[in-house]
Amino acid sequence: MKQQANLIRAGQVIEHDGRRWTILKQQIITPGKGGAFIQVEMRDLKTGNKTNERWRTADTVERLMTEDKEYTYSYTEGDNLVLMDPETFEQAVIPTAILGEATAFLQDNMTVNVKLVEGDPVGMELPPHVTLEIVEADPVVKGQTASSSYKPAKLSNGVKTMVPPFIEAGERIVVRTDDASYVERAKG
């Protein structure tokens, strides 16, 4: 299906130069002179290589229609994620490269959404939030107000994030899976 380049969004799958690409990031740039263009970071689905591409906003690209299917994460084996179909209990093996850096947020029995093009996995989405424990948190700097700044902290999955000054090591917090940002203290 043809689509204007300025409608490209992260998570979509396109065909470009005879290859399939998943969109990682997109940004519309309006220079002071000349027409606007879209800068796209994308990953080749076969090789896993990343590249940047630019199109004028009026250009068209071939968008591939994806089918969404829910799976349950079982475990990681080497460079592959082993998922289970909750309806048929069949296992599916998907390369970890599809998920990229978000792999750190996978948790046992987590429900994930896999995007398929003609039965081939091309993308994967995690739930928007996960609850993790803080294993390290910097001490509060004296005179620092709660509203003005966050402090660095390390999560139980090894990812670093910024948290409000009142959060201490050992506490459980809710973080966004797309950018590891702090949402709130975990309830309960």
Could you give the strand order of the β-sheet that contains 172-176, starting from the edge strand earlier in sequence? 160-163, 151-155, 129-137, 172-176, 182-185
Check residue 16 and give its pLDDT. Answer: 92
Distance of CA 178 to CAs 44, 68, 172, Å? 20, 18, 18
94: phi then psi, degrees, rounded to nearest 5: -130, 135
Check: CB of residue 49 under 8 Å from CB of residue 62: no
Q: Residue 156 pLDDT more than 70?
A: yes
| 32-50 pLDDT tens trace | 888 889 999 998 887 778 8
pTM: 0.70
Helix (H, G, I), strand (E, B) or coil at 68: strand
Please give the average per-residue pLDDT across 122-136, as a whole number. Answer: 90
- 123 band by pLDDT with thresholds 50, 70 and 90: confident
